[in-house]
């Protein structure tokens, strides 16, 4: 494989022109280690809209992100070794610009980005004034010069990752961020170029940082809570000087709200003269994704695909309502007869079994009814059954029981509002009535019904929306904290990718790794 070493704008520009593939950038400050090797490895397996990608590693020790008393001058540098490692790790090119190339008039004379206070008021933002402004400024500069499609960043620098995501979003830059879980050495220490500064005894002391964090995870799991002063004093007792230990909302970097499932516990310490950072995530259960929206928005297909991609259980709430419709029909019970419905539901034992091919088997009272619930009779009955309060209350409780451990994605009308109001990600999936009518007509055509009039179908959809959102029991409403995704003009794959990106903004790879 050809490996290119680039230094100037001209060399970078020429290399860009030669590429037939999209560029994926792995920005670094050099002194490459196993953490970077993992970033490059992940970059090599990424794809963008099914296009091939080439991996460019940049090496630039950015003066703007070091404070006056920090280690800019002594920061470890070694280009020869980095070239060797980047080649061995499988990058396609390495770009090592000089400071003049990045900041022609000098770093201080260059325009600078100011990161919003809300993202820097805790963690390193507090103790390293101007650091993240420097990071954002240089990354934006690297991006304008390289023009990549994707950027690979480590979760090790969690605050940096959150800030850079916000930067790309606020500036509407169509560049995707792929995050990679922290890589640790055998002794538990998170890989960092600054670990080089530690001598043997400091290295031993430093190990108490990841140890204290994993003790906190264990204590949290055993419902013993988190005691920040105790963590601080244990670190100090081990010879580390604590800069901060903080418990925050990982997405907003602000104090965590009471009922949130996922928390970031992060710490910075000084070990001798070396500053080290590390973090962990605390969770009471695995993540939950709630997808709600009107009929015809493509929810089922999207939810099934998303579950497969993220290794989540697909909680098919539609199948659950169909199963109740099935048992009522089998026993000739009128869905409006509350007493009879309540009685039969007492004997209703529903099991959703995930088969090897990830399809869901629906077992009711020991009978596999996966096929029967898809019959036209049940289809005709299900929305009527699903509108009965007794049925909704019963199935909501069942769904919440299944959701106790999390690790699932569920789709419906009231998942984000009634069933899992504490879901980490709520998506309200919708499309204009015109688009939904177009899709419906296409479906009907595929099924051999060629005569459907698009205007008529659109009118039916509008009427169904009106009924769904005004009915008294579980009306279709968007949860306040749901993200609305309008899918006009998007194919299934792009919708799934968009939701996956929203998931990753909330759930780190460290907590829920992408399978495969
Ligand atoms: O994480 C780093 O190595 C640096 O902060 C970055 C993103 C390369 C910007 O200088």
pLDDT in tens, 8-23: 999 999 999 999 899 9
Q: State the Cα–Cα distance between residues 57 and 152, nearest whole angstrom.
A: 10
Token pair 């990608």: residue: 53
State yes or no: pLDDT of 475 exceeds 70: yes
Mean pLDDT (whole number) for 381-408: 93
State yes or no: pLDDT of 449 exceeds 90: no
Q: What pLDDT, on the 0 to 100 scale, is given for residue 276?
A: 98
174: three-class secondary structure by DSSP: coil
Token pair in block for residue 357: 């091919």
Calculate how far, in angstroms, residue 157's C-alpha sits from the geometric centre of ligand 1. Answer: 9
Contacts 24+ apart (CB under 8 A), 232-235: 234/208, 235/208, 235/209, 235/267, 235/269
Work out the number of other CB atoms within 10 angstroms of the CB of residue 295: 15
Contacts of 379 (CB under 8 A, 6+ apart): none
Q: Based on the fold, state whether residues 278 and 327 are members of the same structural domain.
A: no
How far is CA 359 from each of CA 225, 355, 370, 424, rounded to the nearest angstrom? 38, 5, 10, 24
Mean pLDDT (whole number) for 81-107: 96
Q: Based on the fold, state whether residues 357 and 486 are members of the same structural domain.
A: yes
Closest CA to 441 of 431, 459, 454: 454
Of ligand 1's listed atoms, the one at least distance from the Cα of 193 is: 3
Mean pLDDT (whole number) for 121-134: 97
Closest CA to 394 of 327, 468, 482: 327
470: three-class secondary structure by DSSP: helix
Query: Residue 467's pLDDT band (boundaries 50, 70, 90)?
Result: confident
Q: What pLDDT, on the 0 to 100 scale, is given for residue 359?
A: 75
Task: Give percent of the chain with pLDDT exceeding 70.
Answer: 99
Least confident range of 386-390, 461-465, 502-506: 461-465
Mean pLDDT (whole number) for 85-94: 96
Where does residue 423 fall: left (phi above 0), alpha (psi -120 to 50 degrees), or beta otherwise?
A: beta
Mean pLDDT (whole number) for 503-512: 96
Mean pLDDT (whole number) for 249-256: 95
Q: Based on the fold, state whether residues 124 and 108 are members of the same structural domain.
A: yes
CB under 6 Å to ligand 1: residues? Answer: 27-29, 62, 65, 135, 138-139, 157, 160
Q: State the Cα–Cα distance between residues 61 and 108, nearest whole angstrom.
A: 15
Work out the number of other CB atoms within 10 angstroms of the CB of residue 283: 18
CA atoms in the 13 A half-sphere facing the CB of 35: 25
Residue ending a domain, among 145, 180, 215, is 180
Q: Based on the fold, state whether residues 67 and 200 are members of the same structural domain.
A: no
Q: What pLDDT, on the 0 to 100 scale, is given for residue 1?
A: 63
The residue that leads in pLDDT, 50 or 39, is 39
Residue from 135, 140, 142, 164 to probe ligand 1 pocket by mutation (most atoms less than 8 Å from CB): 135
State yes or no: pLDDT of 450 exceeds 80: no
Query: Residue 466's pLDDT band (boundaries 50, 70, 90)?
Result: confident
Residues in a beta bridge with 425: 289
Residue ending a domain, among 180, 204, 231, is 180
DSSP secondary structure code for residue 223 in this structure: T
DSSP secondary structure code for residue 514 in this structure: P
Q: State the Cα–Cα distance between residues 5 and 140, nearest whole angstrom.
A: 21
Residue 36: active-site member: yes
Q: Which of 36, 110, 131, 279 is catalytic?
A: 36
Q: State the Cα–Cα distance between residues 306 and 289, nearest whole angstrom.
A: 10
Residue ending a domain, among 283, 316, 341, is 283
Calculate how far, in angstroms, residue 236's C-alpha sits from the geometric centre of ligand 1. Answer: 29
Task: Kindly report the average pLDDT of the chain as a whole number.
Answer: 93
Q: Which ranges in 277-375 belong to alpha helices (H)? A: 299-310, 317-330, 338-346
Tell me how many degrees the CA angle 215-218-222 measures, rounded to the nearest 5.
Answer: 140
Q: What pLDDT, on the 0 to 100 scale, is given for residue 384?
A: 87
54: three-class secondary structure by DSSP: strand
Q: Based on the fold, state whether residues 356 and 405 are members of the same structural domain.
A: yes
Residue 188 lies in a domain: no
Mean pLDDT (whole number) for 111-132: 97
pTM of the entire predicted model? 0.92
State yes or no: pLDDT of 147 exceeds 90: yes
Q: State the Cα–Cα distance between residues 303 and 174, nearest whole angstrom.
A: 24
Q: Based on the fold, state whether residues 30 and 168 are members of the same structural domain.
A: yes
Residue from 59, 94, 110, 160 to probe ligand 1 pocket by mutation (most atoms less than 8 Å from CB): 160
Nearest CA owner, ligand 1 atom 9: 135
State yes or no: pLDDT of 451 exceeds 70: no
How far is CA 511 from each of CA 263, 279, 288, 421, rounded to the nearest angstrom? 11, 12, 12, 20
Residue 513 lies in a domain: no
Q: State the Cα–Cα distance between residues 78 and 59, nearest whole angstrom.
A: 10
Q: Based on the fold, state whether residues 269 and 315 are members of the same structural domain.
A: no
Of ligand 1's listed atoms, the one at least distance from the Cα of 157 is: 1
For position 258, which CATH number holds? 3.30.1300.10
Where does residue 52 fall: left (phi above 0), alpha (psi -120 to 50 degrees), or beta otherwise?
A: beta
State yes or no: pLDDT of 391 exceeds 70: yes
Q: State the Cα–Cα distance between residues 173 and 139, nearest whole angstrom.
A: 12
Give residue 89's domain range: 4-180
How many domains does the structure of the chain reveal? 3
Q: Based on the fold, state whether residues 335 and 471 are members of the same structural domain.
A: yes
Query: Residue 296's pLDDT band (boundaries 50, 70, 90)?
Result: confident
Nearest CA owner, ligand 1 atom 3: 28
Tell me how many degrees the CA angle 72-82-106 measures, rounded to the nearest 5.
Answer: 40
State yes or no: pLDDT of 58 exceeds 80: yes
CA dihedral angle for residue 84, residue 85, residue 91, residue 96, rounded to 10 degrees: -70
State yes or no: pLDDT of 348 exceeds 90: yes
Q: What pLDDT, on the 0 to 100 scale, is given for residue 325?
A: 95
Token pair 């789709």: residue: 411
Q: Based on the fold, state whether residues 168 and 204 are members of the same structural domain.
A: no
pLDDT tens digit sequence for 42-52? 999 988 777 88
State yes or no: pLDDT of 125 exceeds 90: yes
Residue from 26, 28, 86 to probe ligand 1 pocket by mutation (most atoms less than 8 Å from CB): 28
């Amino acid at each position: 494989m050809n490996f290119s070493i680039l230094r100037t704008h001209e060399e970078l520009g020429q290399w860009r022109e030669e590429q037939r593939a999209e560029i994926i950038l792995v920005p670094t400050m050099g002194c490459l280690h196993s953490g970077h090797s993992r970033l490059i490895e992940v970059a090599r397996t990424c794809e963008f809209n099914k296009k091939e990608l080439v991996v460019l590693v940049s090496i630039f020790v950015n003066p703007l992100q070091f404070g006056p008393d920090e280690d800019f001058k002594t920061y470890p540098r070694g280009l020869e070794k980095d070239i060797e490692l980047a080649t061995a790790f499988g990058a396609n090119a390495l770009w090592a610009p000089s400071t003049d190339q990045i900041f022609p008039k000098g770093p201080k004379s260059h325009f600078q980005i100011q990161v919003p206070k809300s993202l820097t008021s805790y963690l390193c933002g507090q103790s390293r004034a101007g650091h993240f402004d420097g990071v954002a400024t240089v990354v934006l500069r690297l991006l304008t010069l390289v023009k990549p499609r994707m950027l690979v960043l480590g979760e090790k620098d969690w605050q940096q990752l959150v800030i850079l995501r916000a930067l790309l979003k606020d500036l509407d830059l169509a560049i995707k961020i792929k995050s990679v879980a922290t890589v640790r050495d055998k002794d538990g220490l998170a890989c960092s170029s600054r670990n080089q500064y530690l001598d043997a005894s400091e290295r031993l002391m430093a190990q108490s940082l990841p140890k204290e964090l994993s003790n906190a995870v264990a204590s949290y799991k055993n419902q013993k809570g988190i005691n920040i002063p105790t963590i601080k004093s244990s670190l100090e007792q081990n010879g580390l000087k604590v800069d901060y230990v903080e418990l925050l909302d990982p997405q907003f970097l602000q104090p965590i709200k009471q009922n949130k499932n996922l928390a970031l516990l992060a710490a910075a310490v000084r070990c001798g003269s070396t500053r080290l950072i590390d973090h962990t995530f605390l969770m009471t259960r695995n993540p939950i994704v709630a997808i709600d929206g009107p009929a015809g928005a493509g929810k089922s297909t999207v939810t099934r695909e998303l579950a497969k991609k993220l290794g989540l259980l697909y909680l098919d709430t539609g199948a659950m309502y169909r199963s109740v419709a099935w048992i009522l029909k089998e026993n000739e019970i009128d869905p409006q007869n509350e007493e009879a419905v309540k009685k039969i539901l007492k004997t209703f034992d529903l099991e959703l079994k995930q088969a090897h091919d990830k399809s869901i088997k629906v077992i009711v009272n020991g009978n596999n009814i996966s096929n029967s619930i898809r019959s036209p009779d049940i289809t005709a009955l299900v929305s009527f059954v699903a509108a009965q309060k007794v049925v909704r209350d019963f199935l909501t409780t069942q769904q919440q029981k299944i959701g106790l451990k999390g690790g699932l994605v569920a789709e419906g009308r009231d998942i984000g509002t009634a069933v899992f109001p504490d879901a980490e990600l709520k998506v309200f999936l919708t499309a204009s009535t015109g688009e939904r009518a177009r899709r419906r007509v296409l479906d009907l055509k595929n099924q051999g019904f060629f005569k459907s009039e698009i205007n008529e179908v659109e009118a039916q959809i509008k009427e169904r929306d009106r009924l769904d959102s005004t009915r008294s029991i579980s009306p279709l409403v968007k949860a306040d904290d749901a993200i609305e995704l309008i899918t006009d003009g998007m194919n299934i794959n792009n919708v799934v990718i968009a939701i996956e990106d929203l998931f990753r903004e909330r759930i780190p790879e460290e907590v829920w790794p992408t399978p495969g």
